[in-house]
Amino acid sequence: MTIPTKPASKAHIRLREESDDWVILFDPDTAHARVLNPVGVFVWKLLDGNHGTQEIVDKLRAHYDKVPEEAEQQVTEFIEVLIKTGFVSDGN
């Protein structure tokens, strides 16, 4: 799967912060939900159509200690899952 150059979350998706450690993404159109950990939330908030995958990884590295070398691959895979599950636009 090819992800958009600057992926964007879908505008109708709701983010509900449940605690400091996790949030729930909710699609009111499909009733699908997804739980995100703090790193997932960090990435989600950058899926605004203004940041590419490499920019997101760079911001992760600036914000967190000990970001693994494979972070870009993991972020890409996370975005692909969000596209497949309908939370992020596929660019069409």
pTM higher than 0.75: yes
Q: What is the pLDDT of residues 53-91, one digit of tens each?
A: 999 999 999 999 999 999 999 999 999 999 999 999 988
Instruction: For the chain, give the percent of residues with pLDDT over 90.
Output: 87
What integer is the mean pLDDT of 3-32? 91
- Could you give all domains of the chain from N- to C-terminal order, each with its CATH number? 14-84 (1.10.10)
What integer is the mean pLDDT of 23-27? 95
Would you state the torsion angle of the CA atoms of residues 7, 19, 57, 67, taken in this order, to the nearest 10 degrees?
-160
Is the pLDDT score of 31 beyond 80? Answer: yes
Report pLDDT for 17: 85
